[in-house]
Structure 1
Amino acid sequence: MSIQTSLKDRPQLTTENLLLRRPNEDDIGAIIDAVGDWEVACRLARVPHPYGEEDARFFLEHVVPSEWTWAITLKGSDQLIGAVGLTPEETADTAELGYWLAKPYWGRGIATAAARAVVSFGLDQLRLPFIKSGYFVENPTSGRVLQKLGFVETARATRACLAMGRDDVPSVEMRLEPSEQL
């Protein structure tokens, strides 16, 4: 399956309690509310702060069409509470996992469940040879999510963080092979 084909035909994904669907214009307010929170933005590499409507529209018009990105919603509700996705790597046949949740939903296992569904899609449906991810050292909770999925540390490095205006934030780089998937 080619990247372009799979992006156009991106399926909805479900877990026991979640429905993952394509983000849309109706989600703009929820995206701004969630990602506009400094506690969310400072844990993400590609999100500016402050975050406004123009940023949310950029996400919907440029990121969503070019990456495997899903809105995280609770089953029975269409309200976006987060996002999860795979960013295709330019130089390799693989992708990087990323995710965020609105702060009121932290600590409930939602990020782990949503990321598990997306990782399964990437490895089983897209047949990616591996998936990369990473987290800022100051966000060990994200590292625990990745460890629960079977990711293993491959390096210590630095990443950019738009919200902080820095390109040297200490991070942990991780990788998941299909045989390591939990």
Structure 2
Amino acid sequence: MNAILSPLLRGPGPCPTVHTKRLVLRPHRTSDADAIAESLGDFEVARMLSRVPLPYDRQDALDGLATAASTSLPGWNLAITTGDDVHIGVVAIELRHGQWHLGYWLNRYFWGRGFMSEAASAVVERFFRRMPDEMLHSGAFADNGASLRIQDRLGFAITGRGDLYSRSRGAMAPHITTRLGQPEFRPILAA
């Protein structure tokens, strides 16, 4: 095996449980399906994601959880939970086309409270601790200013602009791509 490719194939290791000041980020459970369906069934959440169809229901969530559990691909898919283990969103790092990608979403009820900044920062910090020489890619639809602000605060730099198909919108939408290396990473402290 090529020594250059082996870290990519190995990945950052098993999906961790990460504790922050207000959150617990943990591997998903089948019992998360109802909360996932509620969140992704909301057009205001789904429209910011490229791969989520609408309508989105409990069976879609169960299928997604089963697929994630059965894959041997490296990466993390973490449930964002509050102290009482209420599932409020997701932060994921996955290998796509040979590049590590950060993705995330949050139930609309929890927007504007700094939860996503706290969760994304903690997961990115853990990723770079395990994979310090890798680049992390992300992006957001151009009308998702909150997500782009989080990426900017973390140190992501814009690498491109184009259009990306959104399943929930049923149309192409302007999209901005970003990239972050460990030296540029700026942790966001919890509120």
Could you say which residue in structure 2 is the equivalent of 1:174? 178
For normalisation by structure 2, the TM-score amounts to 0.86
Shift of 1:126: 3.0
Q: Distance in 1 between matches of 2:37 and 2:121?
A: 25
Could you say which residue in structure 1 is the equivalent of 2:189? none
SS at match of 2:91: strand
Q: Distance in 2 between matches of 1:83 and 1:131?
A: 17
Q: Among the aligned pairs, what percent are the same residue?
A: 34
Q: Distance in 2 between matches of 1:69 and 1:116?
A: 15
Could you say which residue in structure 2 is the equivalent of 1:15? 20
Q: Distance in 1 between matches of 2:148 and 2:8?
A: 30
Could you say which residue in structure 1 is the equivalent of 2:80? 72
Q: 1:128 to 1:55 in 2, by over 3 A?
A: farther
* Structure 1: gaps (5+ residues): none
Q: Distance in 2 between matches of 1:63 and 1:96?
A: 16
- Tell me the matched-pair count: 177
Q: 1:62 to 1:15 in 2, by over 3 A?
A: same
Q: 1:12 to 1:128 in 2, by over 3 A?
A: farther
Q: 1:29 aligns with which of 22, 34, 46?
A: 34
Residue 107 (structure 2) pairs with residue 102 (structure 1): yes
Shift of 1:137: 0.6
Shift of 1:127: 3.4
The one-letter amino acid of 1:87's match is E
Checking the alignment, whether the CA contact within 8 Å between 2:160 and 2:177 is kept in structure 1 is yes
Q: 1:144 aligns with which of 112, 130, 149?
A: 149
Residue 93 (structure 2) pairs with residue 86 (structure 1): yes
The one-letter amino acid of 2:179's match is R
Q: Distance in 2 between matches of 1:179 and 1:15?
A: 22
RMSD: 1.7
Could you say which residue in structure 2 is the equivalent of 1:41? 46
Q: Distance in 1 between matches of 2:94 and 2:81?
A: 20
Q: 1:49 to 1:145 in 2, by over 3 A?
A: same
Checking the alignment, whether the CA contact within 8 Å between 1:122 and 1:128 is kept in structure 2 is no
The one-letter amino acid of 1:176's match is L
